[in-house]
Structure 1
């Protein structure tokens, strides 16, 4: 967001362009949805409602997918600067991608979710 407000192209900040505004809006919306799914998962711990396994897997899968997508968009917004270590964009992408791999891959999370939906559990 800061970069989009500072970086100028064609005499104005790139954040003034609709394409960048849409990226920023989508990134914020999806991050908020991931946060709320995580909160709902935590709520399930406190209320022992029997949904924890499913909600925790949903939160991890969605949050890791959102992190990768948002980090990718961040690199895109930064353009060529997104690939160099002058900005954090390239590190954010690397850090986000690993979340889809460790502590249960995306595919494992989806398998857990599907089994929980089908009442088969683990």
Structure 2
């Protein structure tokens, strides 16, 4: 590029990076959901698997639904970035924010479903809980993602 254009050029790569971070969050969260489903089927309390309790089923259902919604927005944003759509940056920011917040929330609930075992290194959940936390910071904090979306929505 031209002299003085480095920052602008560097910024163009952020949209793809934001999609990558979002995808990593959703992948880790999906693994934690799968672990939580397996654990709740095996863990017995009051004579039955905790997966049979309504609260557990509601929690798992919400986790799965939120993951699918975030994944759908990520696919839409990826298509916009691939097509170089005019609103690609807004959608990349929306998808990164939703995917990383959803990822952290799903992992947190998976840890909760594991009870006291959830934070032990014997289970993979504690590692995902630590690793996914940074995703809301990388490639621009989620507060910055909100600023980008808000700016794009109110631009004349």
TM class by shorter chain equals over 0.9
2:124 pairs with 75, 80, 88, which one?
Answer: 88
TM-score (normalised: structure 1): 0.94
| Cα RMSD, aligned residues only | 1.1
Give unmatched runs, 5+ long, in structure 2: 1-36
Distance 1:45 1:102, change over 3 A: closer
> Which residue of structure 2 lines up, in the alignment, with residue 44 of structure 1?
80
Where in structure 2 are the equivalents of 1:1-122 lying within 5 Å?
Answer: 1-119=37-155
Partner Cα separation in structure 2 for residue 97 and residue 45 of structure 1: 25
TM-score (normalised: structure 2): 0.74
Partner Cα separation in structure 1 for residue 117 and residue 108 of structure 2: 13
Distance apart, 1:119 and its partner CA: 1.6
Partner Cα separation in structure 1 for residue 152 and residue 136 of structure 2: 20
Give unmatched runs, 5+ long, in structure 1: none
Larger CA Rg, structure 1 vs 2? 2
Partner Cα separation in structure 2 for residue 89 and residue 46 of structure 1: 33
Aligned residues: 120
Which fold has the larger relative contact order, with Cα–Cα distance below 8 Å and residues 6 or more apart in sequence?
2
Instruction: List per-residue Cα deviations over 1:55-98 (Å, max 9, x = no partner).
Output: 00000000000011001101100000001011011111111211
